[in-house]
């Protein structure tokens, strides 16, 4: 009887994709720039504004924040201007547009230079600031330091939006967990609620029903996946997080579509690197991962992602993301310097509904 001796076996679990290829439009927002983009549309729906990091690599002393604007649904973008460049390694914007069309941005500044020496990242202090613009980015208020009220925070994250009571909300996280922060004016933040310990970058969405859902990025470096939590009391208490995505699938962005569905876009930070999207039709209770959409799969490394989506007036969806380098339609394959770009994808909700 023949045995298995002399045979060799290597087995792993791996996904395959079965589906239709669809044509979508891709537009360049910024080249050699564009880390951590956050996208919003103005209240009249006529403009898209993106805020993102410029000036340096993923972690670099020269980094600062700038904005760009589109008036044709994301097809073309202006040079925009600077949001914040007064400090060192300015990064990680959270960005929203209020009901009176004021732009609100919060961000982190790394304080790495102390007593004449550069500190390692593990000992770097993070200072958080907020500022706003009432003229669509032409001028900005002076930076206001965010009072942590005894909490140690590392950074804000994602889209600034509203809770069911009409207060501005954003995610802010630190070494001990991820929080929801509230503000009346977009400058002064407080009334912090811990969503959960052990997580960081968190997308928060208030549904039309008043329910709130969040997608949390796990701290564990061997996981770095997304977990789901929800709240029915304006974000003051949250359900125990439950795992939603696989390893290295993060971070998240959430929007509620005109149809009532909830769209999740997230970075896919293992090969093939890029951006993926999935839909929930029951307010986040379940997600149609069997019909997951691969929006991009041509980034050259895991230094990619951070999608941010809006639904346009015609019903189509526009998603901004970044890739440190790419072998796709926007090719950046540098040998001696970072060739960073942020790009947008315009696609139809019909992709999810057929």
CA nearest neighbour of 345 among 292, 301, 308, 298: 308
In Å, how far from its chain's centre is CA 343? 14
Residue 186 has what pLDDT? 97
- Residues contacting residue 328 through CB under 8 Å, at least 6 positions apart: 296, 298, 299
User: What CATH number does the domain located at 25-353 have?
Assistant: 2.120.10.10
Residue 332 has what pLDDT? 60
Q: Does pLDDT of 20 surpass 70?
A: yes
- Which segment of 4-8, 90-94, 152-156, 197-201 scores lowest on mean pLDDT? 4-8
Residue 333 has what pLDDT? 54
- Using a pLDDT cut of 70, give the percent of the chain over it: 95
Q: How many CB atoms lie within 10 A of CB 276?
A: 20
Q: Does pLDDT of 335 surpass 50?
A: no
Residue 337 has what pLDDT? 46
Integer Cα distance of 181 and 48 in angstroms: 25
Residues 327-351, mean pLDDT to the nearest whole number: 73
Residues 266-275, mean pLDDT to the nearest whole number: 95
- Using a pLDDT cut of 90, give the percent of the chain over it: 75
pLDDT tens digits for range 86-116? 988 999 999 999 999 999 999 999 877 677 6
Task: State the chain's mean pLDDT as an integer.
Answer: 92
Q: How many CB atoms lie within 10 A of CB 25?
A: 13
pLDDT tens digits for range 115-156? 767 777 677 788 999 999 999 999 999 999 999 888 888 999
Query: With contact defined as beta carbons under 8 Å apart, do 225 and 236 qualify?
Result: no
pLDDT level of residue 235 (50, 70, 90 thresholds): very high
Residues 29-40, mean pLDDT to the nearest whole number: 94
């Amino acid at each position: 009887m023949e045995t298995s001796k002399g045979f060799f076996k290597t087995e792993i679990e791996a996904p395959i994709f079965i589906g239709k290829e669809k044509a979508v439009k891709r537009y360049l927002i910024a080249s050699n720039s564009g880390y951590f983009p956050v996208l919003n549309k103005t209240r009249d729906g006529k403009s898209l504004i993106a805020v993102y990091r410029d000036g340096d690599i993923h972690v670099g002393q020269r980094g600062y924040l700038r904005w760009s604007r589109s008036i044709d649904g994301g097809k073309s973008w202006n040079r925009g201007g600077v949001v914040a460049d007064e400090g060192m390694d300015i990064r990680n914007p959270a960005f929203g547009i209020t009901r009176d069309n004021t732009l609100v941005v919060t961000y982190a500044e790394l304080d790495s230079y102390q007593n004449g020496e550069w500190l390692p990242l593990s000992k770097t202090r993070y200072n958080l600031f907020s500022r706003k613009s009432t003229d669509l980015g032409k001028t900005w208020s002076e930076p206001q330091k965010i009072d942590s009220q005894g909490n140690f925070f590392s950074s804000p994250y994602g889209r600034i939006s509203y809770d069911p009571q009409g207060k501005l909300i954003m995610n802010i996280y630190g070494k001990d967990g991820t929080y929801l922060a509230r503000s009346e004016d977009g400058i002064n933040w407080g009334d912090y609620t811990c969503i959960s310990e052990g997580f960081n970058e968190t997308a928060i969405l208030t549904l039309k029903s008043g329910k709130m859902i969040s997608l949390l990025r796990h701290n564990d470096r061997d996981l770095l996946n997304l977990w789901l939590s929800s709240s029915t009391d304006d974000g003051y208490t949250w359900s125990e997080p439950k795992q939603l995505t696989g390893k290295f699938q993060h971070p998240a962005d959430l929007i509620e579509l005109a149809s009532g569905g909830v769209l999740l876009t997230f970075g896919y930070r293992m090969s093939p690197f890029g951006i993926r999207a999935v839909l929930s039709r029951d307010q986040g209770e379940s997600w149609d991962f069997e019909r997951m959409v691969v929006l991009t799969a041509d980034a050259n490394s895991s230094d990619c992602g951070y999608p941010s989506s809006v639904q346009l007036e015609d019903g189509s969806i526009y998603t901004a993301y970044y890739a440190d380098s790419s072998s796709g339609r926007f090719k950046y394959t540098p040998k001696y310097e970072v060739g960073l770009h942020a790009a947008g994808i315009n696609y139809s909700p019909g992709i999810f509904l057929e």
